[in-house]
Amino acid sequence: MKKLSVRRRHPLAALVVLLLALAATGGLYATLAPADEAQAEASAQSLAIEEGKKLYDVGCSSCHGSGGQGSSDGPSLTGVGAAAVDFQVGTGRMPLQQPGPQAEEKPVVYTQAEIDQLAAYVASLGPGPSVPNESAYDPSAGDAARGGELFRTNCSQCHNFTGQGGALTHGKEAPALDNVDPRYIYEAMVTGPASMPSFPNSTLPEEEKQDIIAWLHAVNTADSPSPGGLGLGGFGPVSEGLFAWTFGMGALIAVAVWIGARTAKARKS
């Protein structure tokens, strides 16, 4: 203590206290203030955007333009949002294999991490729908009955009663929805890929989207119950009629041939 008491009147003492105080404030600020964290995340984000841009330049820019502005071969990506990228690339529709009526589903070529980077880059081009949280598309939280009504009002005219898919003009189609990851169903509703109209939250609120996903989960997944037996594709009377003509009538004619060949006379000889 003697040392301290001797030096506390030192002309530089005030300066030392000031430095200590500044260091403490700065240290506290550095540890407690959120600004720094944001900066760190921003740098991670900018890293993702940067990586995404690299992937984009290689895989997408030939059609969508070097800055996502679009070209004669592909639409502009400004404002389509991360959800559109996650849907199109995550289901294998993009990158396109060849021009045609509609992007076909193919094996996915990017990892989920790469897809997220691409999504980050495209999202940076303009504000758009982002990838939904898992809670938004959890089928168990939706009301299937209500979802069924919404589905029949908004979706079944193209996708069929239970989402078995349907034909559109000139080779385009509304794809089958069996066993599609609920996340992609949700993203499709938000972004409206290909010929599909988009259903933003202002027209179809989040919980109604969840109801629709719950309906599809109840009637069109590998583990949905099928009380009547084989589903015959769920296409309705066309496949039923085909079945009746082939298997039904085929079996009955086989039986008729058998009975017809079995006469009393034939047994005697």
Partner 1 sequence: MSTATKDPKTRGKAPAGEKIADWADGRVGLYSLAKANMRKIFPDHWSFLLGEICLYSFIILILTGVYLTMFFVPSMAEVEYHGSYVPMQGVMMTEAYASTLDISFDVRGGLLVRQIHHWAALIFVVGIMFHMMRVFFTGSFRKPREINWLFGWTLFILAVFTGLTGYSLPDDLLSGTGIRFMEGAILSMPVVGTYIQMFLFGGEFPGHDIIPRFFVIHVLLLPGIMLGLVAAHLILIIYHKHTHFAGPGRTNDNVVGMPFLPIYMAKAGGFFFLVFGVIAAIAATATINPVWVLGPYRPDQVSTNAQPDWYLGFSEGLVRMMPGWEWVIPGGYTLNFGLMIPLAVFPGVLVLIGLYPFFESWLTRDNREHHIAQRPRNAPTRTGLGVAWLVAYGVALVAGGNDVWAVNFNLSINAITWVCRIGFFVFPVVAFVITRRICLGLQRRDREKVLHGRETGVIKRLPHGEFVEVHEPLPREALYTLTAHDQDRPAELGPETDENGVRRKVSPLERLRVKISRGYFGEQAQIPKPTSEEYREITSGHGHH
Instruction: Encode 74-92: b = buried (16+ Cβ within 10 Å), e = exposed.
Output: beebbebbbbbbbbbbbbb
263 contributes a contact to partner 1 by CB under 8 A: yes
- Residue-by-residue DSSP string for 255-269: HHHHHHH--HHHHH-
Is residue 10 marked as binding? no
**Which of 101, 126, 127, 205 forms a contact with partner 1 (CB under 8 A)?**
101
197 contributes a contact to partner 1 by CB under 8 A: no
Return the residue matching tokens 């989960």.
217
Q: Which positions from 135 through 154 interact with partner 1, judged by CB under 8 A?
A: 144-146, 148-149, 152-153
170 contributes a contact to partner 1 by CB under 8 A: yes
**Which of 64, 159, 183, 209 forms a contact with partner 1 (CB under 8 A)?**
159
Is residue 64 marked as binding? yes
Question: In 10 A of CB 128, how many CB atoms?
Answer: 18
Pick the closest to residue 190 from 204, 174, 207, 178 (CA basis): 204
70 contributes a contact to partner 1 by CB under 8 A: no
> What is the helix (H) or strand (E) element at residue 173, kind and residue range?
strand 173-174
Give the binding site for partner 1 (CB under 8 A): 101, 144-146, 148-149, 152-153, 156-162, 164-171, 173-174, 176, 215, 218-219, 226-245, 247-249, 251-253, 255-257, 259-265
Q: Which residues are annotated as a binding site for heme c?
A: 60, 63-64, 155, 158-159
